[in-house]
Amino acid sequence: MAEVACPMAGVVAEVKVQPGDSIEPGQELLILESMKMMIPFQSETNGVVKEVKVNVGDFVNEGDVVLIVE
Amino acid sequence: MATKGEELKAIREKVLQMGPERHRKRVKEQGKLLCRERLQMLLDPDPVIEDYLLANCLEEELAADGVVTVLGKINGRDVAVMANDFTVKAGSWGERTVEKIVRLQETAMKLRIPIIYLVDSAGIRITDQIFVFPGRRHAGRIFHLQALMSGMIPQICVLCGPSAAGGAYMPTFCDIIIMVDKIGSMYLGSPRLAEVTIGEKVSLEEMGGSRMHCSVSGLGDVFVETEEEALQMVKDYLSYFPQHCFEKPPVYEPAEPEKPIDDIEKVIPENQNVPFDMYEVIWRIIDKGSWFEMKKLWAQEVITGFARLNGKPIGIIANQPKVKGGVLFVDSADKACRFIRLCDAFNIPLLYLCDVPGFMIGSKVEREGILRHGAKMLYAVSEATVPKVSVIVRKAYGAGLYAMCGPSHEPDACLALPTAMVAVMGPEAAVNAVYYNKIMELKDPKEQMKFRMEKQEEYKKDVDIYKLAANLIVEDMVEPHELRKELIKRFLFYENKPRELRYPKRHGVMQV
């Protein structure tokens, strides 16, 4: 099980995966609104999403855990 | 009976065998090359001069005292090379080892030739410490000379083994550290020392492995899988560099870009907020087969690499909108700063490709000292006197414009593509800042949105790139498919710009 941390601070604009989804490197996990831009945040690993820890509208800081992946 | 000549030959041959058989076997088991094999792979077969081959030759098992120091050639160019011999006391530094390294450094400085360190060493021989550690010509002098040589001659390090404790500073003073996966490592305190001293349990790989340094600490510049690759990287790297700081970098046969520039407009989205891959721009500008990237795995929101433009080396600093929106962070600022200073030291012209929303904001980065790190990058941009051209590919917001060598920072030219947008901040942020109270008064979200859109359009008109061109802010606007041609032409005009010292002083006081 691995924790996926947010790469930069911002507000969650869209969550593109849900528990049970298989993910692969390069796949968009969520869209972050930050620095007045919509910044996609891509997966670096393979796995299955176990838990999504954030909701749309949440502020997340760099390093905060956003997903749990198996 | 053997003649005197034969006797010498026999001793030399024994030394060339390196350390004892059992240690050679062990090195092979670790999947490593022997140090003389490395030298053979790196250097042209002839000529090679090896000094102090006979160091410590009266002792058993101390061939060359654990380090080989040679002058040789790489593709016909003179270089000085030091190679630790792990088969002799784990490549540790004894009295003569250190003296040999110091002498090689002095020779490289005197001859003004690049110096290459093939590092594979357990550090100082503690049993010999008073002959190795504290004195005027002891280990400290190696680092002292490295600092003095920095920016005078290229210093290249390949980590094809450990670089431990105090000895770990040797790579850090080099311009580039090439690290070989699994076998290269550097650390001040070994995992064993960490466990005993601070109670931390950690693997060597986590503590100071190649992948860690190339992607986390940012100290490693190039990550490679094999030693052969690492040695090839040394040759590739040198192809962008002069022999010393008073020479120009070498010129190669020009080549057309890997991708045709005609469709460059397709890769740059007009909407400032849509990410794209800046490499797609780079591949359409530079000569095919000429890319050498520094710190590729670290702080990827900025790209730093050497390339050739019509056969001539340039250094590229480019924002990468695909990663973290291309925003500058503490690490990206450091990465750019170091790269700019490296290019400036060795007369390599700079090309900035700008698409930057600015420096990151927020409490996290303020605590990390984003201002301190940002100032460092800005400092390097100001300090550089090589030919420099900045291209505003898309947005250049806030101090990002300065960091990417905007007009105030004395580029020889600041060029704008038609997609460029230069402003203190983006339209969304600006409208919010100026009309916040007004927007709040409107209450109805639809009304608010309508108002925002109107004001954003007004704002965009106000900072329209043609308006900036009309006010001489940029030297010119360039049709995207003409960009390569334009850059080649301009760098030719700027390449003979005299580079006197600008202001008489010792040196500035840069933030670090």
Domain ranges of chain A: 2-69
In angstroms, the separation between the Cα of residue B459 and the nearest Cα of chain A is 15
Residue B432 confidence (pLDDT): 84
Chain B CB contacts of A37 below 8 Å: 272-273, 275, 325, 357, 426
Confidence (pTM): 0.95
What average pLDDT is seen over chain A?
Answer: 91
Contact A9/B364, CB-based, under 8 Å? Answer: yes
Start-end of H helices in B17-94: 21-29, 35-42
Distance from CA of A36 to the nearest CA of B (A): 6
Determine contact: B324 vs chain A, CB below 8 A. Answer: yes
- How far B203 CA lies from chain A's nearest CA (Å)? 19
- Which among B273, B360, B364 has CB closest to A38? B273
d(CA B191, CA B45): 40
Residues of B in contact with A40 (CB under 8 A): 275
Structure confidence at residue B47 (pLDDT): 97
User: In the prediction, which pLDDT does B309 show?
Assistant: 98
Any CB–CB contact under 8 A between B217 and chain A?
A: no
Distance from CA of B326 to the nearest CA of A (A): 9
Report CA dihedral (B31, B13, B117, B152) to the nearest 10 degrees.
-160
CB B187 within 8 A of CB B207: yes
Q: What is the pLDDT of residue B164?
A: 87
Cα–Cα distance, B253 to B263 (Å, whole number): 25
> By CA distance, what is A37's nearest residue in B?
B273
According to the model, what pLDDT value does residue B415 have? 98
Strand partners, B319: B302
Q: Which residue has the tokens 């030394």?
A: B15
B324 with A7: Cβ contact below 8 A:
yes
Low-confidence ranges of chain B (pLDDT < 70): none
Q: What is the pLDDT of residue B1?
A: 79
Structure tokens at B173: 């003073």
| Cα B46 from Cα B40, distance rounded (Å) | 10
Which residue of A28, A30, A37 is the best one to mutate when testing the B interface, meaning the one whose CB has the most B CBs within 10 A? Answer: A37
- Tell me the pairing of strands A22-23 and A47-52: antiparallel
Q: Give the dihedral sign, CA B212/B213/B216/B221.
A: negative
Specify the DSSP class assigned to residue B322.
Answer: T
Indicate the CATH number of A2-69 among 3.40.50.150, 3.40.50.800, 2.40.50.100, 1.10.760.10: 2.40.50.100
pLDDT at B436: 87
What b/e readout covers B197-236, taking b as 16+ CB neighbours within 10 angstroms? eeeeeeeeeebbbbbbbbbeebbbbbbbeebeebbebbee
Tokens of B235: 């040759």
Strand duo A28-34 + A59-60: pairing: unpaired
Whether residues B364 and A63 touch (CB distance < 8 A) is answered with: yes
Residue A40 has a pLDDT of 86
Residue B325, chain A, CB below 8 Å: the answer is yes
Partner residue opposite A35 with nearest CB, options B274, B358, B363? B358
